[in-house]
Amino acid sequence: MLDAPRELLRAMFAAAIETALPAKVVPARLPQPPRGRTIVVGAGKAAAAMARAVEDNWNGPLEGLVVTRYGHGAQCRKIEIVEAAHPVPDLRGQQAAERILHMVQDLSEDDLVISLISGGGSALLSLPAAGLTLADKQAVNRALLACGAPIGEMNCVRKHLSAIKGGRLAAAAFPARVVTLIISDVPGDDPSSVASGPTVPDSTTFAEARSILRRYGVTEPLSVIKHLERAADETPKPGDPRLARAEAVVIATPWTSLQAAAEVARNAGVAPLLLGDAIEGEARELGRAMAGFAHSAALRGHPVRAPGVLISGGETTVTIRGDGRGGRNVEFLLSLAIALNGLPDVWAIAGDTDGVDGAEEIAGAIVAPDTLARAAALGVDPRERLARNDAHGFFGALGDQVVTGPTLTNVNDFRAILVAR
């Protein structure tokens, strides 16, 4: 049996974060300085730290502005940092997006735009399309979040309600060269999906956005529905000449972070099995499914023999049913703990690599073999908490939360289930 399973799981999570830090991944991918101006723009939870890495490694003049989540800023000398709201956009994000769009206009072929994009940028870079308001976008965001829409579907809608996403930022910068550095938080690392691809061609359409809202029964605001029905200004598609001088480079991925965590496990004598970095679905359902893998590993040595660890990534969803504090990673863990039912020598960790699970400043939590027993001793009912979407409250009562603070990167969720014996 392992001596310190909690410490091993925390070390694996830390390695997943560390390998994706902007100071490590940005410098080697910077382009050569241009003959003209260098403008740095960007959005996302890692955007400020990425801007700092650019400044620290850039040989020449530059200027710019990036927008990040409240509390995720970094000290920069030449690039302005604006903090705004996530996941529901606010006025500061809208104003920053408007300034960024203005900043890249009227450039020449000799100029360079460095675009720094990471997860969270869709909400942070919120500039409504003509005829729409910030309140319209906020209402749609809240509705899609509440019904558990996958991030890809949310981004399709966001692109078609925006004046800057879905390639529009790069189109505005033409004929300047645009180099986008991306820290990916999406399954498959599709550049057009990270922060809704403001500098990348968009293959989705107004028709798809309308279909998504119909699927979830979203019928308001009426201005949004009418905007999507008019479909007057489609996003730039692949082959659009305005994007001919735009390139995108993914510099950190969820898969690389899972591999870093796996190496920590190997060094501790634990066999890692990477299940994938694109696992999606309802968080509580995935928890039950992963409990089945853990039972099989503990009792039959399959799909991994003990000591072994099942590692996965991807972004689950939570359909809000109750009045709890939410959090997809902790909801996954609570469902997992209930299904494990105190299975001996099985531990688990799940957390968001940006340090924020849902709307809480808590990255995630840890499940131990005695989680349910300790909850019972405290009079905390796990099933009642799960029904209320209050997994944060559950793990908070047990003292099993994982708190990192803002990590200043974002490569999506990290999950590890350790079968110690």
Q: Is the pLDDT of residue 1 over 60?
A: no
Residue range of the domain that includes 270: 5-16+255-419
* Same domain as 393, residue 275: yes
Of 237, 252, 267, the last residue of a domain is: 252
* Same domain as 259, residue 174: no
pLDDT-wise least confident of 9-18, 102-111, 186-195, 377-386: 186-195
Q: Is the pLDDT of residue 366 over 80?
A: yes
**Paired tokens of 102:** 């203005």
Instruction: Write the pLDDT tens digit of every residue in 322-363.
Output: 888 879 999 999 999 999 999 999 999 999 999 999 878 899
pLDDT-wise least confident of 100-104, 160-164, 313-317, 378-382: 313-317
* Same domain as 244, residue 174: yes
The CA distance from 366 to 347, in Å, is 7
- pLDDT given for residue 298 in this prediction: 94
Of 220, 252, 284, the last residue of a domain is: 252
Q: How confident is the model at residue 421 (pLDDT cuts 50, 70, 90)?
A: confident
Instruction: Write the pLDDT tens digit of every residue in 275-322.
Output: 999 998 999 999 999 999 999 999 999 999 999 999 999 989 888 888
Of 252, 278, 304, the last residue of a domain is: 252
In the predicted model, what is the mean pLDDT of the chain?
95
More reliable by pLDDT, 323 or 257? 257
What radius of gyration, in Å, describes the C-alpha atoms of the chain? 22
Instruction: Write the pLDDT tens digit of every residue in 137-187.
Output: 899 988 998 888 887 898 899 999 999 999 999 999 999 999 999 999 988
Instruction: Tell me the HSE value of 110 on the side-chain side, using a 13 A CA sphere.
Output: 3
CATH of the domain at 377: 3.40.1480.10
Any idea of the CA torsion for 316, 320, 326, 331, to the nearest 10 degrees?
Answer: -50
* Same domain as 273, residue 384: yes
Side by side, the strands of the sheet bearing 112-118 are 79-84, 63-69, 38-43, 112-118, 177-183, 246-252
Contact criterion met (CB below 8 Å) for 414 and 397: no
With CA atoms as reference, report the closest residue to 148 among 316, 313, 290, 278. 316
Give, as one character, the DSSP assignment of residue 162.
B
- pLDDT given for residue 211 in this prediction: 97
* Same domain as 43, residue 188: yes
Q: What percentage of residues in the chain have a pLDDT greater than 70?
A: 100
Contact criterion met (CB below 8 Å) for 119 and 185: yes
Quickly list H helices, 250-379: 254-267, 283-300, 328-340, 371-377
Instruction: Write the pLDDT tens digit of every residue in 302-314.
Output: 999 999 999 999 9
